């Protein structure tokens, strides 16, 4: 059974801190790994990672995939209160053409 | 270009009632998905459709049926609603060679 696990499930930090969110997966046929940010409504896309070791960056957010370790991390530097959200990791499975999601990490940034 | 649209936004049902959640996308995506989201559970796949004319069960299909009416539309039907189906339902579509799912705004369903 395809499985995606995120850790921690919940994280509370102060504004300005740097955070690292983790995602590990066990799937039958990996195509890519995706990160989403969910505030109050629908998840919004952050990154898609396909190749191991190549960092994707967008402003203060960055992510990297380690195919050998079957995992990915999402880093957020100099956090701001607007970064408070649930961060979801998902794996796109080849053949079945489906996204399998982890449970999400609820990140809270206190001023 | 509206992306992914879902109707209704909110719905309250009584146990045993039926209803259909509608989803449409205008991005010419092949794949469409229905997820439910419950607190602490992330998103769980109910059904998906890899292409027009095909549908497959996901992780939690019991109590639901789907129809891929055409390339644009993918509906989710609850034949006899149960309180355990109280959840937020998201539809998504994807162009799998590029990015993953683009999500609709969600439907908040309460079954009493």
Q: How many contacts does A have with B, using Cβ atoms within 8 A?
A: 68
Q: How far is A76 from chain B (nearest CA, A)?
A: 21
Q: How far is A16 from chain B (nearest CA, A)?
A: 26
pLDDT at B98: 46
Closest residue to B42, CB basis, from A31, A42, A103? A103
Are the Cβ atoms of A32 and B100 closer than 8 angstroms?
A: yes
Q: Which residues of chain A have pLDDT under 50?
A: none
pLDDT at B97: 43
pLDDT at B41: 76
Q: How far apart are CA A103 and CA A4, in angstroms?
A: 8
Exposure of A96 in the CB half-sphere (CA atoms within 13 A): 22
pLDDT at B37: 94
Q: Does B89 touch chain A (CB under 8 A)?
A: no
Q: How far apart are CA A39 and CA A42, in angstroms?
A: 7
| Residues of chain B with C-beta less than 8 angstroms from the C-beta of A41 | 105-106
List the single residue in B with minimal CA-CA distance to A4. B42
Strands of B1-112 (E only): list them.
Answer: 4-7, 10-13, 19-25, 31-37, 43-49, 56-57, 64-68, 74-78, 87-94, 102-103, 107-111
B78 token code pair: 């609850």
Q: Which residues of chain B have pLDDT under 50?
A: 97-98
A59 token code pair: 């402003």
């Amino acid at each position: 059974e395809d499985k995606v696990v995120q850790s921690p499930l919940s994280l509370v930090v102060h504004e300005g801190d740097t955070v690292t969110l983790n995602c590990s997966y066990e799937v039958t046929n990996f195509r890519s790994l995706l990160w989403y940010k969910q505030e109050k409504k629908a998840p919004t896309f952050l990154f898609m990672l396909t190749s191991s070791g190549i960092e994707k960056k967008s402003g203060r957010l960055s992510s990297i995939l380690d195919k050998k370790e079957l995992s990915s991390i999402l880093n957020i530097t100099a956090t701001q209160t607007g970064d408070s959200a649930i961060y979801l990791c998902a794996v796109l499975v080849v053949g079945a053409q489906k996204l399998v999601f982890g449970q999400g990490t609820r990140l809270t940034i206190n001023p | 270009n509206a992306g992914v649209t879902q109707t209704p936004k909110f719905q309250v049902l009584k146990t045993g009632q039926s209803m259909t959640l509608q989803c449409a996308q205008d991005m010419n995506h092949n794949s469409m998905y229905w997820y439910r989201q419950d607190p602490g559970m992330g998103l769980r796949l109910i059904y998906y459709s890899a292409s027009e004319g095909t549908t497959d069960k996901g992780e939690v299909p019991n109590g639901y049926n789907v129809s891929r009416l055409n390339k644009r539309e993918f509906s989710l039907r609850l034949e006899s609603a149960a309180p355990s189906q109280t959840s937020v339902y998201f539809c998504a579509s994807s162009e799998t060679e590029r990015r993953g799912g683009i999500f609709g705004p969600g439907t908040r369903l309460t079954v009493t």
